[in-house]
Each structure stands twice: as structure tokens, then as C-alpha cells.
Structure 1
């Protein structure tokens, strides 16, 4: 197996774990309140990140006050906001719907850059944004599609927006932070931020199910820690435009997992939606290649 093929395998596995977070969040939503689950996720993941830092010799850089402020906002949006909205939304909508909506993340991030950073879009990027929007609308406004909920779908879209803001804010950091160190910081700050509101949910812990707790542990160790390692191992073996294409694996795997593991029906609207989202990711990759060529 060549180095490039290894990269493809690692990226596929990484995005498959991202798709599985939808299923884990669905199971968590049935047995734990969102902030408690989020705090437990980071509490479980943080020690492993710190161990990996020790093994690899990674260090925390000295950061100015400006960067600490951005990291705090990033953790609030991308770590706590994303996870709590995802879990809350999945308590009332289908995992298949959520999988399709989450697949729009790369396009949403690009759209945020256009709106807030003033980046000039080319026609491929505009096409990608249009296709992603069409894919989401095909499931959000389809009556009874996949037994979803409009409010739940809006919460999932809010989670994607939070993650998009996380990506955007990363460009505002004045200091380059190694990925492993930044993941450790996000887990630590996210733990503190989620633990405070989780105190008001403590009454629900007595009713926590074993399935929900195991799902939190899975979310912490597999998609959060192992997914991080797989993604960066794959990304260093392929080009950026190639890596971006593999984000399309996440919504596909989420819908397949929803059908196989949860027994959710997959409607025609969801098939059309996921097709539009995949086409959007391809359009985004074309836009990236054109910018690289320019």
C-alpha cells in the first residue's frame, strides 16, 4: 500500500467515526442531558490527549491574551455549542436527517468566510453553497421525511454553524498552535464551560442509562481522540483538496449507520439530500483546486 493509499484509508476511517457521532449522540440524547454528556465527553477525552502530548513531546505554546480569548470562544461554540445542540436536536429528529445536515459543514464554513471575511467566491463555490442548501431543504421541509422534526433539524443546523464559526475563528489566532495541543486546550476549556451548566442537570444523572454512558465514552475515545489521530495521519499523506473530498464520507456513513444500527427508514428526500450534499463537497474541492492553480 502506497503512502497516498494509506492517507485515503486513514481519512475514510476518520470521517466514518465522525458519521458515527450522530448515532452516539442519538443514544446519548435518550439517557443524558446535553451539558452533562458534553462535560463527560471532554472529561474522558482530555487525559488521552495529554498522554499523547507527553508521548509525542508536544508542548503548549505561550499565547497572548487575544488568543486565549479566541480559544475560549472557540471552545464555547465548536466544543460545547456543537455537542449540546447536536444531542438536543437528535432527541427530537432522526439520525439520518442529522447526518445529511452535518455533511454541509465544509460548505457552511466556506459561506461564513465569504460573509465575515469578505472572501470572493468563484462559481464553483457558489454552486457548492446552492447544492448544500438544496440538500438540507429537501429534508427539512419534506413532510414526515425520516420521522424528523423541523425544530430538531434547525438545532442540528445550529450545531453546524457553531462548528463553522470554530473553523473561522481558528484563522484569527495570532499564534500557530500544534493540532494536538489545540485539541487538548479545546477539551480542557470545553470541560470547564460545560461543567457549569451541567451542575443544574445533576438531578438527571440518577436516571442516566448505561447505553448513554457507554455512548459518551465511545464519543470521547473513538471520534474525538482516535478520529483526530486518523485525520491528521491521513492529511499529511495527501493534498488539501484530496483531504477535503473525504469529508463527504461523514454524512454517508451517518445515514448508513442510522439505517443499519437504529433501523431508521431512509426516505427519497434523504437520498436526494445526501446526493446534493456530496455534489456540494465535490464543488467545494473544485473551487479549492482553482484557487490553488491561480
Structure 2
């Protein structure tokens, strides 16, 4: 018993560290958006992540990740949705939306996954989940409309908000596609191959928009952000997250994801000077509470 407690406590520490790293992605993405094209930023992030994950998979499984031909469609879908599409919406949206605001919008992803799973996989969706879903979506509306949801009916949503909602749609598709992929591929291999294939998809658009010029003119802070996004926030954080799932389970680990927008808001305030309005706190609280109810 005494030997398990440090291990268990260590997994909780790694979980919180992973959430802090994921919260920091919104800050790093916004900094990169100041000097690099979104496609260049995405390619460099997932190139470094692919190399790091391939090395980690070799260390964890004793060999480089292998992918059977019959599993290629699953991996391609994961790369298209979770890497290519998500990266486009992520880096482009952060050119127009503050980091904390964007993170709170994306925080409703678990609710969207739960709703889609109920329709596609006939998963149970009781009254508590309905209440959680409505509460979370209302919270997103409060955040997007700066405290006045009725304004959405009049002026609609901004381009930046729509792009961040694209993150929600693409990651929901990635997560649902992962349900089928994980039946045939190990989680670490699935993440590694989705990064590799997604990076290859990003190469053409990145070269087209001037990847070479972006690399030449990148600032030291840009390279630091690329390293943070690729190695720490993608490779290392995913590995820690899956290690925690292995020990304490997916349900208990998933609750910690609610910390991501909290870290994003705090980091945005401390590092970028982003204001924290009452509507952000109120809407964010509604989103997190709704996610917790939906995934109880």
C-alpha cells in the first residue's frame, strides 16, 4: 500500500502538469500568430511532435510504431481531423480571439463528444447529461457574446469565434474516430501516426504560404513556442495523460481537462495582459459545470 501511494500521487501531479501545458498552448499559439503563418506554425509544431512521439513509442513499446495497411484509413482520418483541420482553426482563430476566450469555447468539446456519441453509438444520455449539455452551451454563448447572448441573434458571431468553433468540430470528429481506431491500434501509436500523417498533410499548404521564409524570419521566442507546442504540450503531455489513464482510469483523468481553460485564462492574464471580464468568468463557470455534469 505504501508503495502505491507515491505512484498514485505522482500520476495526479502529472495530470495537473499536463493540463497546465495544454492551457499554455493557447498562449504559445497566439505568440506564434504574430510572426508565422498558421500553416507554417502548425507544420513546425507537429513535425517536432512526430519526431518526439516516434522516439517515445520506440522507448515504450520497444520498436518504432507500425501501421497495418488496413488501419491506414483510421490513421488518415485522425491526422485529417485532429492535426490538419484542428491546427488550421487553432492557429488562424488565435489571430482574432484572446487565448482565454478561445480556451473556454473549446472547453465544451467533451459535451459535444457526449452528444454525438449518444446519436452515433447509442450511448446513454440521461436527464443529467441533458442539463449539463444545455448549461455548457449557454456558457459558450455567454463567452462569445461577452455577457449578452441575445446579441448573437442580432450581430452573429465573429470570424475568430467561428474558427475556434471549427476546433470544437474537428476535435470532436477526431475523438469519435479514435473510438474505432483504438480498437486496433495502441493509444500511443494512434497519436504518433495521426501526428505523422497530419504533418505530411500540412507540408504542402505550409510550403505554399511561405514556410521557408517563415523559418528564416522566425524569432527565438517563436522557436521556443514551437518546442513547447510540439515536444512539451503535444508529445510529453499526451504521454503523461495516457500514463494517468492507465493507473486511475479515463473517467477520473478526464475530469482534470476542466483545468485547461483555467490555466489558459491565468496564463493569458499574466503573460499577455488579456483582460478577465465578468462574462468570461460567468460563462466559463457554466461551461466547466456543464462538462462536469455531462461526464459524471
**TM surpasses 0.5:** yes
Note the C-alpha offset of 1:62: 4.9
Of 195, 200, 212 in structure 2, the residue corresponding to residue 192 of structure 1 is 200
TM-score if structure 1 supplies the norm length? 0.89
Cα separation, 2, equivalents of 1:117 and 1:84: 28
Provide the C-alpha distance between the structure 2 equivalents of 1:182 and 1:232, rounded to a whole number of angstroms. 12
Matched, 1:55 2:59: yes
Secondary structure of 1:264 counterpart? coil
2:280 is aligned, of 270, 273, 277, to 270
Match of 2:137 in 1: 133
Aligned to 1:108, the other structure's residue is in SS state helix
How far the C-alpha of 1:144 sits from its partner, in A, is 10
SS at match of 1:211: helix
Structure 2 length as normaliser, TM-score? 0.88
Of the three residues 102, 111, 118, the one matched with 1:114 is 118
Q: 2:267 aligns with which of 257, 263, 271?
A: 257
Question: Structure 1 residues 284, 7: closer, same or farther in 2, change over 3 A?
Answer: farther
> Structure 1 residue 285: deviation in Å?
2.9
Q: How far apart, CA to CA, are the structure 2 residues paired with 1:279 and 1:242? A: 15
Cα distance in 2 between the residues matched to 1:120 and 1:191: 36
Task: Give the one of 266, 280, 292 matched to 2:290.
Answer: 280
Cα distance in 1, alignment partners of residues 245 and 11 from structure 2: 7
Work out whether residues 58 and 180 of structure 1, in 8 Å CA contact, stay in contact via their aligned partners in 2. no
Residue 290 of structure 1 corresponds to which residue in structure 2? none
**Which residue of 80, 88, 94 corresponds with 2:92?**
88
Runs of 4+ in 1 over 4 A off after TM superposition: none
1:103 pairs with one of 102, 107, 113: 107
Deviates more, 1:251-260 or 1:195-204: 195-204
User: Does the C-alpha gap of structure 1 residues 249 and 143 become closer, same or farther in structure 2, counting only changes over 3 Å?
Assistant: closer
Distance 1:228 1:173 in 2: 17
Deviation at 1:49, TM superposition (A): 1.5
Structure 2 residues not aligned, in runs of 5+: 150-156
- 1:100-134 Cα distance to aligned partner (Å, 9 max, x none): 11211211211222343343411121122112101
Does the CA-based 8 Å contact 1:50-1:184 persist in structure 2? yes
Larger deviation, residues 237-246 vs 264-273:
237-246
How many residue pairs get matched?
282
Deviations 1:159-180 (A, max 9, x none): 1210110010112238521122
**Which piece of structure 1 moves more, 129-138 or 210-219?**
210-219
